[in-house]
Amino acid sequence: MVGGGAVVLGGVLAFHRLVPNRPGRIGSLIESFLPWSGVLVVVLLAVALVRRSAVALVALLLPVGVWVDTFGGLLLPGEPSGGRELIVVQHNVSDENRDPAGTARALIRSGADLVALEELVDPQVRVYEKALAGAYPHHVVRGTVGLWSKHPLSGEQVVDIKPPSIAEEWSRGVRAVVHSPYGDAAAYVAHLPSVRVGVGGLSSQRRDESAALLGRAVAAEGVEPLILLGDLNGVVEDRGLRPLTSQLEVAESGFAFSFPAAFPVARIDQVMARSATVGRIRTLPATGSDHLPVVARVTLR
């Protein structure tokens, strides 16, 4: 039984893309928690040791090998930067944040060059603008998302990622060109629609539609390098984000589980790039949000 479970687990890890997404987007649901399959491996290993089952131990080599191949690199410290580096922070600050000024101070302490924020609502947005102005003299806010920068910005514009099924006013994407010491780079900030897990599975249709629209905008971008920061409401293994992960690089190391802040189980706050390398990604201490901030070093090519 343990051996059979090990084989099934290894098969799901290795071929999760073949798991059908209907009904209930079960494929995306499995992919959202793939890193935690390592816990199942440990449980099966403990049972195999207790039972002294040589067959089960051999069978466990399959899921162990696949897990290490898929996620082992995230445990490494990451390669040192080549110098052309921007430190970036991504944070969904929560529209219910009771301490926006304290959150802003925490983000300033990160020393980041770029800070991307989501769920910016009145009157908190004015607090962020005032608190961040000294450290980040350049910023743009469109709808409920914004970008703060130590370096000049230009070409600020809304990125339309509103799913067709949303009729009300909805603006969660912005793009700007960052004039960094290493040259220009396009920066995108996005907040994709939320997903819900219920008895019917994963509800992610709007998120997937929004990801497809963002993917088209990124594909059409003429400025390189490109950096995408956002609450994408999905992990990088989730096939719903394939319009983005198929053309952008993700973090080389670090799990950086960012949600929920009280007990993080997944990183849905992402840093991705093109013509640039995203090094190690990590979380910052909790703020007044239900998300943890994530910080990464992006090396421009």
Average pLDDT in the chain: 93
Evaluate if residue 193 carries a pLDDT over 80: yes
Q: Is the dihedral of CA 121, 127, 132, 133 positive or negative?
A: positive
More confidently predicted of 49 and 200: 49
Evaluate if residue 93 carries a pLDDT over 90: yes
User: Tell me: the pLDDT tens digits for 140-176?
Assistant: 999 999 999 999 999 999 999 999 999 999 999 999 9
Q: Which residue has the tokens 């440990």?
A: 42
pLDDT for position 140: 98
User: Tell me: the pLDDT tens digits for 272-285?
Assistant: 999 999 999 999 99
Six token digits for residue 68: 């290490």
Evaluate if residue 55 carries a pLDDT over 90: no
Say which range, 53-62, 229-238, 261-270, has the weakest mean pLDDT: 53-62
| Segment 231-238 mean pLDDT | 96
pLDDT for position 54: 87
pLDDT for position 57: 86
HEC sequence for the chain: CHHHHHHHHHHHHHCHHHCCCCCCCHHHHHHHCHHHHHHHHHHHHHHHHHHCCHHHHHHCHHHHHHHHHHHHHHHCCCCCCCCCEEEEEEEECCCCCCCHHHHHHHHHHCCCCEEEEECCCCCHHHHHHHHHCCCCCEEEEECCEEEEECCCEEEEEECCCCCCCCCCCCCCEEEEEEEECCEEEEEEEEECCCCEEECCEEECHHHHHHHHHHHHHHHHCCCCCEEEEEECCCCCCCHHHHHHHCCCECCCECCCCCECCCCCCECCEEEEEECEEEEEEEECCCCCCCCCCEEEEEEEC
Say which range, 76-80, 168-172, 241-245, has the weakest mean pLDDT: 76-80
More confidently predicted of 194 and 202: 194
Say which range, 60-64, 76-80, 91-95, has the weakest mean pLDDT: 76-80
**Cβ 295 vs Cβ 282: under 8 Å:** yes
Q: Which residue has the tokens 């995230």?
A: 74
- Beta strands 114-118 and 145-149, pairing class: antiparallel
pLDDT for position 17: 87
Evaluate if residue 202 carries a pLDDT over 90: no
Give the confidence band of 79 by pLDDT, cuts at 50, 70, 90: low
The closest alpha carbon to 232, from 177, 262, 270, belongs to 270
Evaluate if residue 24 carries a pLDDT over 90: no
Give the confidence band of 199 by pLDDT, cuts at 50, 70, 90: low
User: pLDDT > 90: what percent of the chain?
Assistant: 72
Give the confidence band of 33 by pLDDT, cuts at 50, 70, 90: confident
